[in-house]
Amino acid sequence: MKKLLITMIVAVLIAGEFFAACHADRRPGPDSNAIKLPPPVLKSSVSIEEALQKRRSIRSYKNEPLTLKEISQLLWAAQGITGGGRLRTAPSAGAVYPMTIYLAAGKVEGLPPAIYKYYPHSHSLEFLKPGDFRENLSEACYGQSSVKNAPAIIIFAGNLDKMSSKYGTKSLNFICQESGHAAQNVYLQAVSLNIGTVVVGAFEDGEVKKILNLTGNEKILYLMPAGKI
């Protein structure tokens, strides 16, 4: 009887951890003051083969704003939920999903210039910091004009603590691999939207974290400026 009771307690604890993992990051934000994004479109006239053929790194954009619908689609492509309540558009080692996507909006219709955090489960944005930080981010990227001139910049960050609890010294490798999967998704999605983007890997990690007000053990992985071609 005692062994049965212990077994049941262990089962409940394991189930509780599994439930918490499956429902992690479901809230729109700490204050629940979420900006709900338009639902993603799941079909387009551009095939995956055509998107692969046309995928290019584009650094010059029109001086036009992006729409909230276009931003929604790009963010969903990066880390959107696709099934099972938590599975995403990009694979993650052990389904840990240590990445967080931030958005620096400068010229986006219906979205005030600010830094935002993307929440995949609610497909929403949390307002973090007011202001247009494109020039600041450009300086952190050694003056790259694509960052300064893009209407919006998608920023990929990986939580090393979240990954290391399961994978230890291999954590950074897995996080970098995951960011590559997500970035390629954004590239291909951009093709179907006739939007240009480029992966920016040259930046001062500490300066970008300062702009985002990040204080935890998050590693900045990529910046992807985006704008109309």
String of DSSP letters for 91-135: --GGG---EEEEEEESSBTTB-SEEEEEETTTTEEEEEEES--HH
Instruction: For each of the domains in the chain, give its residue range(s) and CATH number, in order of start.
Output: 2-228 (3.40.109.10)
Lowest average pLDDT, out of 176-180, 185-189, 213-217, goes to 213-217
H or E segment to which residue 195 belongs: strand 195-197
pLDDT in tens, 130-162: 999 999 999 999 999 999 999 999 999 999 999
Cα–Cα distance measured from residue 197 to residue 186, given in angstroms and rounded to the nearest whole number: 8
| 187: CB partners within 8 A, 6+ apart | 55, 197, 199
Q: Using 50, 70 and 90 to split pLDDT, how confident is the model at 125?
A: very high
Q: Tokens 């994978």: give the residue.
A: 167
pLDDT in tens, 13-66: 334 443 334 444 444 444 557 999 999 999 999 999 999 999 999 999 999 999
pLDDT at 66: 98
pLDDT at 84: 80
